[in-house]
C-alpha cells in the first residue's frame, strides 16, 4: 500500500496531511490486518527544517511522536488470558482477558538536518517508552489537508478499497481537520460535517476524473486502455499507485498513434488490390 504525495511543495505537506493519511488509510488498514509486529523505516526527511532539495515538508516532531503512538495502539486481535490474585477473605483466582499489542520497531534511516532528526527521534522514543509526547500545534489540529493531499488520499482509497474494504467508510474524513474528525464520532458532529465533507469529496473526485480525462485526451489513449490500466493497478495492493502511463505518458501515446497510422495504410492497400 502506497500513498504517493503529489503537488510538490505548493503547498508543502505538514501535520494536517499526515494525520489525515493515518486516520483514513494507514490506521484502518493496520487495524484490519492485525499485525504481530510493525517495522517502521523511520526517516525524518519530511521533518520541518529540511530545505526544499532535501525534503521541504513541514512535519513537526510532535506529529512523529503522535504517529508512533498511533502504531502502538494497534491491536493484533489476539486475546491473552492471565491469572491474578484477588484477596477477599479467601484467595481466589480471576481470569483477565486483554488484547495483545504488536511489537513496534523503529529503524532510523533518513534525515539530513541534525536538529530535526534529534527532536523527531526524541518524540518517537518518548512514545515508545509510554511517556507523554509534545502536543501537535493547535494550528495544525485546526487546519484541513491541502487539495493535493485530499486528491491523493481519495485516489488511494478508491484503488485500495477492493483489497481493504474497511477504508471505504473513512473517505468522509479525508477533508476534515483533526478537530473535525474527532468531533465526527458524535452524532452532532456527523450532522455538522456531513454536508461539507460530501461536497468537498465530490469536488475532489470530479477534479481527479477531469485530470484523468485530460491526460487521456492529450496522450491519445482510449477508454479501453484506461480501464485496463485501472484494472492492472487494482490487481496488486503492493504495487505503487502511480501507473506506468503517469511515469512516462508518451510511451503508450506513441504506440497508439503508430497503430492508428498503420491501420489506414493497410486498408488502402487492400482496396487497391
Q: What is the pLDDT of residue 102?
A: 73
Q: What is the pLDDT of residue 210?
A: 59
Q: Residue written as cell 520497531?
A: 105
3-state secondary structure of 117: helix
Give me the helix-helix angle, 187-219 and 223-234, nearest 10°: 130
Q: What is the pLDDT of residue 57?
A: 96
Q: What is the pLDDT of residue 214?
A: 59
Instruction: Give the cell for residue 101.
Output: 499489542
Q: What is the pTM of this model?
A: 0.64
Q: What is the pLDDT of residue 228?
A: 42
Give the bridge partners for 87, in sequence order: 91
Q: What is the pLDDT of residue 183?
A: 86
Q: What is the pLDDT of residue 270?
A: 44
Using CA atoms, how far apart are residues 21 and 156, in angstroms rounded to an integer? 10
The burial of 167, by beta-carbon neighbours within 10 Å (0-12 exposed, 13-18 middle, 19 or more buried), is given as buried
Which of the residues in the chain have pLDDT under 50?
Answer: 80-97, 187-193, 195-197, 221-273
| Cis status, amide bond into 243, omega within 30 of 0 | no
Closest CA to 212 of 222, 201, 199: 222
Amino acid at each position: 500500500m502506497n500513498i504517493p504525495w503529489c503537488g510538490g511543495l505548493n503547498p508543502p505537506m505538514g501535520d494536517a496531511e499526515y494525520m489525515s493519511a493515518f486516520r483514513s488509510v494507514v490506521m484502518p488498514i493496520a487495524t484490519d490486518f492485525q499485525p504481530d509486529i510493525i517495522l517502521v523505516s523511520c526517516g525524518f526527511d519530511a521533518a520541518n527544517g529540511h530545505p526544499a532539495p532535501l525534503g521541504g515538508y513541514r512535519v513537526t516532531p510532535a506529529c512523529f511522536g503522535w504517529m508512533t503512538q498511533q502504531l502502538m495502539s494497534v491491536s493484533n486481535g489476539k486475546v491473552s488470558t492471565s491469572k491474578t490474585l484477588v484477596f477477599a477473605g479467601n484467595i481466589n483466582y480471576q481470569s483477565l482477558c486483554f488484547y495483545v499489542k504488536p511489537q513496534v520497531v523503529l529503524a532510523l534511516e533518513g534525515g539530513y538536518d541534525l536538529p530535526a532528526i534529534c527532536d523527531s527521534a526524541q518524540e518517537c522514543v518518548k512514545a515508545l517508552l509510554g511517556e507523554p509526547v509534545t502536543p501537535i500545534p493547535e494550528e495544525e489540529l485546526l487546519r484541513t489537508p491541502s487539495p493535493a493531499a485530499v486528491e491523493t488520499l481519495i485516489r488511494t482509497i478508491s484503488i485500495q478499497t477492493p483489497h481493504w474494504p474497511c477504508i471505504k467508510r473513512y473517505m468522509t474524513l479525508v477533508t476534515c481537520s483533526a478537530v473535525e474528525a474527532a468531533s465526527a464520532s458524535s452524532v452532532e458532529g456527523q450532522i455538522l460535517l456531513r454536508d461539507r465533507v460530501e461536497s468537498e469529496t465530490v469536488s475532489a473526485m470530479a477534479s481527479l476524473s477531469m485530470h484523468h480525462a485530460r491526460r487521456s485526451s492529450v496522450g491519445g489513449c482510449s477508454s479501453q486502455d484506461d480501464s485496463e490500466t485501472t484494472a492492472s493497478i487494482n490487481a496488486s495492493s503492493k504495487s505503487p499507485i502511480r501507473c506506468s502511463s503517469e511515469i512516462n505518458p508518451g510511451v503508450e501515446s506513441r504506440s497508439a498513434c503508430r497503430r492508428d497510422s498503420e491501420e489506414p495504410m493497410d486498408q488502402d492497400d487492400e482496396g487497391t488490390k
